Chains A and B, each alone.
Chain A
């Protein structure tokens, strides 16, 4: 494999890892606060549709992004209402959201655009276009570093940079601020937070909202940056892979970055069977690579690679006791 192929492979790794990373951080906020969220996929899907639809209608991708975030946020609040306010089962609520999103997006798309459940193709300002970083053209001829900067680091959409910036930001928020301390505490022992005079419900809603915003960005990225428009079920299980990455990352932000990059690499390899064949001399089915994140998650859960301990109060509605 030559250097340029490697750069190309890593470049598509970054692009494929971005939605996973955003969704994974979304799940991290929610689950760290004790709300399991299996509905990441549904939220991404809803956001993907609404951002593409609004972007197509108004020709402005930023409006689209806002619409996507709003849609995802609405579903998040629904999840919050079911699981925080009404103390329902978080898994069931999440599954319901996934079904809701899968059905509604296609239905509304058909009603609005009559294109068989898709949006029109996005062009120009209705899409997030690659950004060329300063001096990218100038340094390109420099051997080794040139392509690295010009191809791999430069030339992504703003959302990619936002996603990667979200990692240190999440870490800082979780481990260096009052909000983060309380958020982590509420996922471990909500009674401790409650008796300390802090609202468990308020914190959990805050976490769920952050989750909604991040899922919204992830979804918008799918339809307005990675692709140019919405198609049916375009989230393609990425929400579940993000959940797998979250477990793989042991609910930590930096680990989440590495986990999603790894899963992104699998995704990139899936589209380049020639590279694998050249590397190991065997033809590998693309589907096999697609299944790898799940296989690895099972291995993690079985406790082979260190122990993944989920937040202790995860999945349980908080009921005040005497």
Chain B
């Protein structure tokens, strides 16, 4: 990198993107408030903020999905109106969405030309795209098989297709929304290498993320958003993760979880040869052996879709399986009548499901109703054959206070709470029943940093009370911060179990990619 020419270029060139005073409201919610930002050409500009801080709204305005209520957009110094995606593409903006916008049963090539065809017939378009694809592959190190179907290639490859789609449309500005959420650490590194290469070719990149590490690793400049406002824009080299976190949340945040060493006792959960075959006949768990002791947190790491969900589902009683699972020496029924949530709870298992909005809560129901779910037969919630609603509400108010749920209003529908507060409602319901074993999936997915801290503290406190905790998370940082031992899942199997103190992201990352125990040892 030649810093001097970069500096010169930045000093003379107009910003690739400049937003001036962008505001956008959805009803009473002010999603973006008077946002101004300058993104210089040939740089990687990070935008970081909690969920709901307004990052996605801002980018949707830039990509023509929403029209700003107020404010102006300048592309390379020229005032530009972006009423729709077509205008955004014409202005040289390409967007890689968090959820890919690809047609699954089309080939890579067909996806790339879709909407950017030359002329009415496909043949010449496809031929031309094939040629430029080869050139792009050479220029940026983005190799793909143009004739592969999207449904047959991995997520890392699919993301590459999205980037190629933007480049094929001559995008000079690339916006990536949470691009590493679905990638293994190795794939993420590869993505960052590609982004670095794109930057060196003069492309401008906006990286939206909530992961501080990514911001520190790859960006040149970072803007922080909080509650719809741009609170700061700083040079990455002149800031620190702690400072960014504070800017995001508005107060000091503990990035590490303070916890004493675990004091594991008896085995609570004992799994042997657990297998699950899904409705399509695909074996999702292929012989799992795991043990979790009282007073320890076992973290299950892995890229989403490698069987972690099925593991939680079968333990939670809503997926059938074969093999043996014992809780405190008692075998669980994995297929029959006793294989349901109620009997799992009778075994002392509490479950905070991965998808809290679909499995943990009924979004249209009030908080107090949600608090009683699964425990509605509890004597304290009943009077005769009726439910004692007053008692449930009173209990909910107490729980909301202890778990700092905001707003502390039991009559608010679950959907009206933020992600973090929804999670607290589920957590309060499950933890406060004093379970022997807590199953918890993606505890902080879509949860803001402030609430993450609180939720992590609750999980550790439960461990210190001598409970067994099975934690499933796709966030490796979270796994490493919370777990006492880490099991890595790949393709329905446990690749290995490590003491959290003796391992690192690199080793776990290799195991997550399916590189076996022994290989990882040699490699690490």
Contacts and interface: CB of A to CB of B under 8 A. Distances in A.
B122 A178 contact: yes
Interface string A99-140: 000000000000000000000000000000000000000000
Contacts of A192: 101-103, 111, 114
Interface in B88-114: 88-89, 95, 97, 101-106, 110-111, 113-114
Contact of A312 (B84, B104, B122): B104
A193 interface: yes
B111 A176 contact: no
B117 A195 contact: no
Contacts of A198: 86, 114-115
B106 A185 contact: yes
B106 A182 contact: no
A189 B122 CA distance: 19
A322 B55 CA distance: 11
A193 B111 CA distance: 9
Interface string A174-186: 0111111110110
Nearest to B121: A177
Contact of B65 (A181, A184, A189, A322): A322
A181 B104 contact: no
Nearest to B126: A181
B344 to A, nearest CB: 33
A87 to B, nearest CB: 17
A198 B114 CA distance: 9
Given A185-B103, A189-B103, A312-B104, A178 B117 contact: yes
Contacts of A182: 114-115
Contact of B115 (A188, A197, A320): A197
Interface centre among A178, A195, A312 (most CB of B within 10 A): A195
Given A188-B103, A195-B95, A178 B56 contact: no
A189 B114 CA distance: 12
Given A177-B120, A181-B114, A322 B57 contact: yes
Interface residues of B, number: 33
B504 to A, nearest CB: 36
A274 interface: no
Given A176-B121, A178-B117, A181-B113, A189 B85 contact: no
Interface in B365-392: none
Interface in A189-213: 189, 191-198
A191 B114 CA distance: 12
A286 B60 CA distance: 60
| Highest count of chain A CB atoms <10 Å: which of B86, B101, B104 | B101
A207 B84 CA distance: 22
B257 to A, nearest CB: 32
A157 to B, nearest CB: 31
Contacts of B110: 181
Interface residues of A, number: 23
B119 interface: yes
A310 to B, nearest CB: 12
B116 interface: yes
B115 A189 contact: no
B84 A197 contact: yes
Contacts of A179: 120
A181 B95 contact: no
The A interface is mostly helix, strand or loop, or mixed, namely helix
Contacts, number: 74
A312 B150 CA distance: 14
Interface in A264-322: 312, 320, 322
Contacts of B60: 322
Nearest to A176: B122
A191 B120 contact: no
Contacts of A189: 101-104
B106 to A, nearest CB: 7
A304 to B, nearest CB: 16
B121 A195 contact: no
B241 to A, nearest CB: 27
Given A185-B103, A322-B57, A322-B60, A193 B123 contact: no
Given A188-B104, A312-B104, A197 B122 contact: no
Contacts of A180: 122
Interface in B325-358: none
Contacts of A184: 103, 106
A180 to B, nearest CB: 8
A195 B85 contact: yes
Contact of B120 (A175, A178, A193, A312): A178
A191 to B, nearest CB: 5
Interface in B122-146: 122-123, 125
Nearest to A180: B122
Nearest to B64: A197
Contacts of A197: 84-86, 88-89, 115
Contacts of B121: 176-178
A181 B105 contact: no
Given A193-B114, A322-B60, A178 B119 contact: yes
Contacts of A195: 63, 85, 95, 97, 101
B125 A178 contact: yes
A179 B57 CA distance: 31
Contacts of B114: 181-182, 185, 192-193, 196, 198
Contacts of A181: 110, 113-114, 117, 122
Given A178-B121, A195-B97, A197-B84, A188 B116 contact: no
Nearest to B105: A188
A294 B57 CA distance: 49
A316 to B, nearest CB: 15
Nearest to A309: B105
A179 B111 CA distance: 14
Contacts of B95: 195
Contact of A194 (B85, B104, B117, B119): B85
A28 B86 CA distance: 28
A83 to B, nearest CB: 21
Interface string B491-515: 0000000000000000000000000
B53 to A, nearest CB: 13
Given A178-B120, A193-B114, A196-B85, A320 B65 contact: yes
7 contacts: A175-B122, A192-B101, A193-B114, A195-B101, A197-B86, A312-B104, A322-B60
Q: What are the 10 A-B residue pairs with the smallest beta carbon separation, nearest first? A: A196-B115, A197-B86, A192-B101, A178-B117, A197-B85, A195-B101, A198-B115, A188-B103, A185-B103, A191-B101
Interface of B: 56-57, 60, 63, 65-66, 84-86, 88-89, 95, 97, 101-106, 110-111, 113-117, 119-123, 125, 165
Given A192-B102, A198-B115, 17 more contacts: A175-B122, A176-B122, A177-B120, A181-B113, A181-B117, A181-B122, A184-B106, A188-B103, A188-B105, A192-B111, A193-B114, A194-B101, A195-B85, A195-B95, A196-B101, A322-B56, A322-B65
